[in-house]
């Protein structure tokens, strides 16, 4: 979503929402208070950004620490904790051989815009997760305790409204959210379709917005207040390229920690294998120490 032309009065409202929630959260925990302070700093910084990307200078100013992420293991290159351990791809192959979702989902037809092509890839992931052949086979997602849902209004949908009122459609969208919805697991993932091409060396503003807004809403839910870390995993797609971006707010160090994977190019190599690799992230095991 491009907020570069956001009216000043709307920016003021956005900042006031953060401050107002900060007063409420002060009743919860020291960690939550610190996260709200970090979130407010990042939020204001993102509102001021005109570019679709975050430069090194911007990362430094907003205190966002970025490192690399291994697609096969979920391990960050800085040796810190793993939060998603990808589901075994061999097991996914076995399950998909029974559900045969490819009959219902055509991959990457030509002639679409960047955002619609990205949405096709992400919707294909959802179809492969939830398809059951003839209504008789167990769905892939049902072998885990993950669920799909739409993005909540308070997670980011309301940020679209000013652009829609101004006649400008948002240039990114969250197609689905993946959530265990058990009131215990703070981990949450989302499927992001963006028009800004992915850059190896830079995070996109849309990726950071997703981490910020989903974390912010999660903190407001009573059942997650004992957690000092809310790991947010973004399956980020632009045109025919996809990567994994994972982030969380570090209340102890006063920063946002983000990991990004290499980019998968759907114009090269085995498309089916890339889909299966991404599926392994959609239904991976949630791990790591997240409680205070």
Q: Are the C-beta atoms of 241 and 197 separated by less than 8 Å? A: yes
Write down the pTM of the prediction.
0.86
Q: What is the C-alpha end-to-end distance of the chain, expressed in Å? A: 33
| Confidence at residue 116, expressed as pLDDT on a 0 to 100 scale | 78
Tell me the per-residue pLDDT of 134-180, one tens digit each, with 9 for 90 and over.
Answer: 777 789 999 999 999 998 776 755 554 444 444 444 588 899 999 99
Tell me the per-residue pLDDT of 240-276, one tens digit each, with 9 for 90 and over.
Answer: 999 999 999 999 999 999 999 999 999 888 888 999 9
Average pLDDT across the chain, whole number: 83
How large is the angle between the packed helices 271-282 and 89-99, nearest 10 degrees?
110
Between 33 and 27, name the one with better pLDDT: 33
- The mean per-residue pLDDT over the stretch 79-85 comes to 97
Tell me the per-residue pLDDT of 193-233, one tens digit each, with 9 for 90 and over.
Answer: 999 999 999 999 999 999 998 998 888 888 888 898 999 99
């Amino acid at each position: 979503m491009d907020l570069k032309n956001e009216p000043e009065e709307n920016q003021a409202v956005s900042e006031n929402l953060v401050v107002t929630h900060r007063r409420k959260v002060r009743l919860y925990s020291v960690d939550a208070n610190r996260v709200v302070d970090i979130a407010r700093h990042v939020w204001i910084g993102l509102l001021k950004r005109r570019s679709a990307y975050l430069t090194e200078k911007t990362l430094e100013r907003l205190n966002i620490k970025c490192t690399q992420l291994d697609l096969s293991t979920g391990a960050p290159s800085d040796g810190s904790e793993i939060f998603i351990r990808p589901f075994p791809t061999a097991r996914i192959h076995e399950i998909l051989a029974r559900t045969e979702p490819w009959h219902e989902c055509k991959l990457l037809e030509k002639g679409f815009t960047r955002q619609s092509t990205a949405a096709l890839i992400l919707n294909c992931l959802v179809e492969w997760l939830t398809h059951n052949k003839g209504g008789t086979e167990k769905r892939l997602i049902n072998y885990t305790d993950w669920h799909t849902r739409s993005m909540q209004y308070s997670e980011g949908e309301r940020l679209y409204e000013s652009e829609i009122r101004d006649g400008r459609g948002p240039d990114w969208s969250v197609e689905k959210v993946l959530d265990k919805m058990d009131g215990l697991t703070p981990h949450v993932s989302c499927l992001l379709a963006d028009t800004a091409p992915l850059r190896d060396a830079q995070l996109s503003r849309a990726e950071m917005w997703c981490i910020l807004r989903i974390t912010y809403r999660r903190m407001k839910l009573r059942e997650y207040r004992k957690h000092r870390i809310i790991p947010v995993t973004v399956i980020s797609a632009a045109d025919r390229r996809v990567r994994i971006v994972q982030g969380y707010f570090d209340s102890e160090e006063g920063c946002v920690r983000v990991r990004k994977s290499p980019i998968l190019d759907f114009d090269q190599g085995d498309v089916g294998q890339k889909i299966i690799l991404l599926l392994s992230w959609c239904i991976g095991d949630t791990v790591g120490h997240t409680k205070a």
